[in-house]
């Protein structure tokens, strides 16, 4: 007997246990979506948000733990989605981020940053393309304003995120006309955890933001929802959500 697809649209958000990913999950849940929360190491946070969403609406949230750097990690996600029977939106949010000054760069750091920011999202999109085509769905990649303006002491990350924008453009062509593919490039939204106490750097960054404030996770989530659901004639684009700071560089 053919499996009955869920009535509610389904969204997969990678790296959704905390920070921006968690806010995206809550926004789409409030819009009636079933949520698949992917996480790697943040098990307690993922469990907490999933329970809270299921308390609001039963059987509306699923968890999947996997390492996107490994093929078997992608297999695990695909197997879960196939068991659910539907996918409307993929948000490639999971990302490694840390400094790699040129003198300290090595192949291990290259592989890690490229796998989480480019390789993993690409092959996940490839594996889920058929289900997204059936749903006439959407892919949103989370890029970075520094994909266009290189970030000092982060050459590998910057290159990987630049590739992420190119991936957005090429997937938009490969999957047209059935699947739209876009990208959101956040600016100063949340301070990286390894820079949370660096007040001098924070003040320097904010001085270059025309809007004059740090962005919020909601700013990114709203842009993701707009591109994924509302902007039906937009594909292959990267939208900067950075308070205008990219215009100041």
Residues with catalytic roles: 157
What DSSP designation does 163 have? H
DSSP string, 87-138: --EEEE---------GGG--HHHHHHHHIIIIIHHHHHHHHHHHHHHHHT-E
DSSP 8-state assignment for residue 146 = G
Any alpha helices (H) in 2-56, and if so which ranges? 19-30, 43-56
Q: How far apart are CA 124 and CA 193, in angstroms?
A: 27
SS3 per-residue string spanning 189-210: CCCCHHHCCCHHHHHHHHCCCC
Angstrom distances, CA of residue 138 to CA of 164, 198, 201: 16, 37, 36
Task: Indicate the burial class of 177 (C-beta count within 10 angstroms; 0-12, 13-18, 19 or more).
Answer: exposed
Residue 246 C-beta-side C-alpha neighbours within 13 Å: 15
CA distance 3 to 133: 18
CA–CA separation, 247 and 210 (whole Å): 9
């Amino acid at each position: 007997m053919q499996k009955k697809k869920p009535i509610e649209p389904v969204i997969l958000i990678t790296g959704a246990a905390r920070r921006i990913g968690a806010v995206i999950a809550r926004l789409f849940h409030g819009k009636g979506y079933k949520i698949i929360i992917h996480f790697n190491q943040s098990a307690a946070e993922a469990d907490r948000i999933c329970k809270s969403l299921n308390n609001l609406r039963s059987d509306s949230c699923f968890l999947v733990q996997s390492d996107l750097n490994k093929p078997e990690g992608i297999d695990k996600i695909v197997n879960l989605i196939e068991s659910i029977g539907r996918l409307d939106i993929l948000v490639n949010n999971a990302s490694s981020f840390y400094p790699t000054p040129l003198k300290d760069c090595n192949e291990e750091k290259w592989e890690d940053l490229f796998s989480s920011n480019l390789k993993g999202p690409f092959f996940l999109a490839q594996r889920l393309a058929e289900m997204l085509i059936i749903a006439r769905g959407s892919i949103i990649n989370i890029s970075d304003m520094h994909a266009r303006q290189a970030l000092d002491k982060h050459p590998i990350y910057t290159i990987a995120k630049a590739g992420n924008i190119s991936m957005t453009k090429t997937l938009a062509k490969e999957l047209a006309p059935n699947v739209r593919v876009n990208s959101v490039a956040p600016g100063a939204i949340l301070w990286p955890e390894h820079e949370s106490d660096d007040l001098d750097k924070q003040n320097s960054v904010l001085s270059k933001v025309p809007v004059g404030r740090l962005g919020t996770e909601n700013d990114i989530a709203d842009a993701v929802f707009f591109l994924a659901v509302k902007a039906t004639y937009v594909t292959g684009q990267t939208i900067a959500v950075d308070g205008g700071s990219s215009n100041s560089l």
